[in-house]
Chains A and B, each alone.
Chain A
Amino acid sequence: MMTLGRALLFGMDNLQILFSAPIFSLQLLIDGLLIGAIFALAAYGMALVWGVMKIINFAQGEFVILGGYMAFAFSRAGVHPFFSVPMSTVSLYIVGWLLHRLVIFRIVEEDLFISILATFGISILMQQLMNQVFTADVQTVDSGLSTWFLFDGNVTVLQIKVVSFATALVLGICLAVFMKKTRLGQTIRATAQNARAARIMGIDTDKVYCTTFALNAAICGACGALVLMTWVIQPFMGLAYTIRSFMIVIVAGIGNVAGVVLAGLGLGAAENFAGFILGAEFQAAFIFSLLVVILVWRNFALRLKRRYLY
């Protein structure tokens, strides 16, 4: 209670800063949106896997971190950090494909609880394997890009974050087009709608599941490489990305790429403002309170709709 009171006291002061010097609001907003794009990138695949395979992938964050380590290994081997993004994407596609062939195919049409348990197990296994191979040391790679200074240096925009933002948007658009226009995308959507009917129509749903899961891992691979260049990675940092992806997908709804982008950007901005005003310790608490509010509101809105139906 004491700490909350103190935080509110600090919070009022901090809020005042934002009003008296709006330039910092701009900084928080820009950074929040750029960070949010990276979260959205991590969440695309989760929405896809959830929608198509009815699996909540609790190893999502570990895929991101593994993508980061792949990029780290490639850049150690002399590859330019930017080229390590597609390379890590491809490696994670293979990892996702293998994981599906080994574990995931067994749990696709099982109870949701079993899939949570299985992917949770995979996440622990991946953490420990990464720890064994890459050690628990914090790793990072310099992208070689610098920073833009706006408004007399009061607002800084990291070029690598802009690159991540652009990558997230481009990948999002590609994904949406892929799902709409290509044959494979259509089979994925058909399987998501009704797997049994899709099978009757001659779609190899097993292949669809495999591709979907591998695709998810691949997108996480790209995300991880960008995280490596923007911040730092460590084998046990995955959970932060899993939780955020989970939240974004809940807010956006499954199978809604545009929604995922918007929810991701919103989450990033909200998190940054909460961190500034309330302090870093209430960042997560604020976000989760927000989630509850959104869910309650959605329930309320749905009920309103239902009333009109009758």
Chain B
Amino acid sequence: MLSKGKILIALVVAVAAVGLVVATTAVAKVEGDTIIFGAAVSFTGKYSTNGKHTKNGYDLAVKRLNEMGGVKVGDKTYKVEIKYYDDESTPARAGQLADRLIKQDGIKFILGPYGSGPTKGMAPITEKYKIPMVEGNGASRALFNKGYRYLFAVLTTSEQYLAESINLLAEEFKKQGRDPSTAKVAIAVENDPFSMDIRAGVIEDAKRYGMKVIIDDKLPKELTDMTATLTKVKALRPDALIVSGHSKGAALAVRQTAQMKVDVPMLALTHCEAADVVGKFGGDANYTLCATQWAPTMTYKDDWFGFAGDYAKRFEAEYGYVPPYQAAESTASVLVYVDALQRAGSFDTEKVRDAIAATKLETFYGWVDFDDTGKNIAKPMVLRQVQKGVYIPVAPSKFAAGQVIYPRPLWRDR
């Protein structure tokens, strides 16, 4: 037991420490001629792979901006820097770190973490302090129905991830002279906010065509096996199977449909690239449809990186791997911020916030134009199909570089 005296001393020390911290850390967001952004990204924990992509994306933007002389705000040109913390892949920690970045480190410009969960943890904090946050990795639509004023997302929100596959299915049905309303859809998504959004988007689109959802499984977070769901697919023979369960779900879906020889005419997934389904499963991954935010083959361009392909080359030279979209959208977040700072001509957070809201910008990642809720409405999702081990964009038709192969060939014919 602590005595009362000891408790008192401890309290005094604690108060003094807090006072000291508050007094000494009023570092400005701009130190000398450097603008400092703040970010809490997952370096450890289950998002650490994607956290690394996010950080690499941010770092490449910073490197390129500084190479090009910096950012001109008002009459002065500034260098750019990012202060990082590790959010340990937990939303609560991301929230604490947002508080720390703003209150202790005096950061006035926040870049988003990786993932909808940590973004949800940070948004209420940035909102409370009226500090703008531009993010490229929080896609859950629950982020955009809370009336947040200071949150902006350059990526397409999650309910649109696989909705395009339903349109594609309807198109293929029409081509075959069949009524799209006779199509049967099977959905198996992880029970988390991101995947449940995807499910909502798919169901909404399926309803629009009058398609029937015959399997609607929610996969547990600790998913290890999909046998039960896939047996159901074998029994009910849907026309399309939609799976979303991050890397784990993508890997299991590709592996187990091949192992159990599940013949489904269309298999659409998220996170194909993150799970490296082509590298891991080779031919078994063929004909899989994969949703992507961005691909190096796209034709968007900007003044910083040139075309999407040029960005990819630069990224690969720096980090030794082809940039996944998680990296590209992180880079784009920094570009949107910098563009807004330049237009605002000031470091006043309100002015910067308004400048971000008014953004109409083409980047190598795509067009950025925020609606009132802060989400980017100018960039569609792209659906790519693995054909002979290569990702070929097949929808929407504007980006299609090849024809979709529908139905998938039967396993016995492969």
> Which residues of A are at the interface with B, using a C-beta cutoff of 8 A?
6, 10, 14, 17, 21, 24, 27-28, 31-32, 35, 128, 131-132, 135-138, 140, 147, 149, 153-154, 156, 158, 227, 231-232, 234-237, 239-241, 243, 271-276, 279-281, 283-284
Contacts and interface: CB of A to CB of B under 8 A. Distances in A.
A140 B255 contact: yes
B220 A156 contact: no
Interface string B44-79: 111111100000000000000000000000000000
A147 B228 contact: no
Among A243, A275, A280, max chain B CB count under 10 A is at A280
A154 B233 CA distance: 11
A17 B45 CA distance: 41
A32 B227 CA distance: 9
Contact of A280 (B218, B259, B280): B218
- Per CB-CB distance, the 3 closest pairs between chain A and chain B, nearest first, are A275-B228, A281-B218, A240-B222
B222 A131 contact: no
A54 to B, nearest CB: 27
A140 B248 CA distance: 11
Interface in B247-298: 247-248, 250-252, 255-256, 259-261, 274-276, 280
16 contacts: A35-B225, A128-B44, A135-B48, A136-B46, A137-B247, A138-B280, A149-B261, A154-B234, A236-B46, A273-B228, A275-B228, A279-B216, A280-B217, A280-B219, A280-B220, A280-B226
A237 B222 contact: yes
Q: Say whether chain A's binding surface is mostly helix, strand, loop, or mixed.
A: helix
A280 B248 contact: no
B178 interface: no
B75 to A, nearest CB: 45
Given A24-B231, A231-B225, A153 B261 contact: yes
B236 A281 contact: no
A38 B234 CA distance: 24
A231 B231 contact: no
B224 interface: yes
Nearest to B276: A137
A235 B46 CA distance: 8
Given A136-B49, A154-B234, A276-B228, A234 B248 contact: yes
Nearest to A3: B218
A131 B275 contact: no
Contacts of B23: none
Contact of A35 (B227, B236, B276, B412): B227
Nearest to B50: A136
Nearest to A23: B235
Contact of B260 (A21, A147, A232): A147
Contact of A240 (B224, B235, B280): B224
B320 to A, nearest CB: 14
Among B222, B228, B234, max chain A CB count under 10 A is at B228
A1 B220 CA distance: 18
B336 to A, nearest CB: 27
Contact-residue bracket for chain B: 35 or more
A132 B44 contact: yes
B277 to A, nearest CB: 10
A24 B48 contact: no
Among A21, A243, A279, max chain B CB count under 10 A is at A279
B227 A31 contact: yes
A239 B220 CA distance: 12
Given A234-B248, A284-B220, 19 more contacts: A10-B216, A17-B235, A24-B235, A28-B228, A31-B231, A135-B48, A136-B50, A137-B276, A138-B275, A140-B255, A147-B259, A153-B261, A158-B259, A232-B251, A234-B46, A272-B228, A275-B229, A280-B220, A281-B220
Contact of B232 (A153, A156, A276): A276
A293 to B, nearest CB: 21
Interface in B202-246: 216-220, 222-229, 231-232, 234-236
A140 B222 contact: no
Contacts of A27: 231, 234
A176 B224 CA distance: 28
Contacts of B223: 240, 280
Contacts of A24: 231, 234-235
A17 B217 CA distance: 16
B280 to A, nearest CB: 6
Contacts of B45: 128, 131, 136, 236
Contact of A232 (B191, B227, B229, B252): B252
Contact of B217 (A131, A156, A281, A284): A281
